[in-house]
Amino acid sequence: MTIENRTLEDSVEEVRNAFRSNAPNSDAWIIPNNFWITATVLGGKIWEIYARVRWLITNSLPDTATGELLDRWGNIFNVSRKGDGESTGTVLLTGVDGSVVPVGSMLSLSNGQRYEVIVAAVIASGVAEVSVKAVELGSKSNAIANTPVKLASSLLGVDLTGKVSIRGITGGVNAECDDAYRVRVISRIRKRNRYGTLKDYQDWSREVVDVTRAWAVKSGSSINVYFMMDVKYPQAAPLPADSDTLNTYLNDRCRKPACASVNALLPITKNLEVTINCANLTPDQKNIIQQELDEFLFDEASIGEDFFYHEIQQVLGRIDGLDIVIDCGLVWFAKPGELFVKAAITYV
């Protein structure tokens, strides 16, 4: 019996069998019986030991380690777990013209999330757009446009209630989960030399908060790094400010080779337009097709990479209960810098 499938009952039965073999005229299965009680207690303790050993075995290697032990593996190879991200944005407060919203003023949402004013604002034409940051880190501090907000304490000439501006409050991300962090740790272990290869730049890019995918492409004497932030901007390219942040990180002297020329660039996102000759599908079936194609693009799409008929047909052919055929010989072309992010499906 292996450690992995041992149960508490297995351990107790093993001890009872040991008593039966080593203590003549005894039977640890009979109740009441001191042997029965002793076997039950010892079996439970033995099972606890096996459970602990099983946990140690699981966490002894980086491909199965979790929590703090995974962090230790990452630290050995200089791969740090991404921490919680801080959300920032603006809110709209109304009131009497000339009234001031000072730095440090506190606001809150109905769910208890709190925000601090980071730049003083003055109400003009009855309203002020106030810059705020979340008190608590993580995605739970994000808020969409028009979400009601309330001042924690009254301010002279300023209404107690307001709303999140059209910009929203964004940027809050949760700490990197074990699964995502483990992928980066394993990638670093498998490719330890840090000479500034294309793979190195992809790994370094994913070390930046919010960066989920990255592609390094050689362009003459330079290296262009394209990246996506799929959690922060679903199926959309990042913003120029994000490119500046990544560019600064990649060009740090402690990271890149001295003579390297590196540019962090935004991909040109585009849809993969597919025509399916089957108009009688249900909405649920269409949703499944959309999801399968989008997941395929997320996993397989790369900068400037074309897709061919047989690749898309293979994805559609894997969908249970559907027999979907698209026109043969199709090719979806991507120019340098372009990235397919979403399937645009037309049913005829």
Per-residue pLDDT tens digits for 49-88: 888 888 888 888 888 899 999 999 998 888 889 888 889 9
**Rg from Cα positions in the chain:** 29
In angstroms, the CA 276 to CA 296 distance is 17
The four Cα atoms 20, 21, 23, 28 give a dihedral, to 10 degrees, of -10
Per-residue pLDDT tens digits for 138-161: 889 999 999 999 999 999 999 999
What DSSP string describes 8-59? HHHHHHHHHHHHHHHSTT--TTSSS-HHHHHHHHHHHHHHHHHHHHHHHHHH
Q: Where are the strands (E) in 39-147, listed by range?
A: 88-95, 100-101, 106-108, 114-117, 121-122, 127-134
Per-residue pLDDT band for 100 (boundaries 50, 70, 90) equals very high
Per-residue pLDDT tens digits for 232-290: 888 788 999 999 999 999 988 777 776 778 999 999 999 999 988 877 888 888 999 99
Residue among 206, 256, 242 at smallest CA distance from 82: 206
Per-residue pLDDT tens digits for 164-204: 999 899 988 888 999 999 998 998 887 765 677 888 899 88
pLDDT over 80 at 133, yes or no: yes
Q: Angle formed by the axes of helices 309-317 and 283-300, to 10°?
A: 130
Q: How confident is the model at residue 1, as a pLDDT?
A: 45
Task: Tell me the pTM.
Answer: 0.59
Per-residue pLDDT tens digits for 294-335: 999 999 999 999 999 889 989 988 888 888 878 777 899 999
Q: Please, what CATH class does the domain formed by 193-254 belong to?
A: alpha beta
Helix locations, the chain, DSSP H: 8-22, 34-59, 67-76, 178-190, 198-206, 240-250, 283-300, 309-317
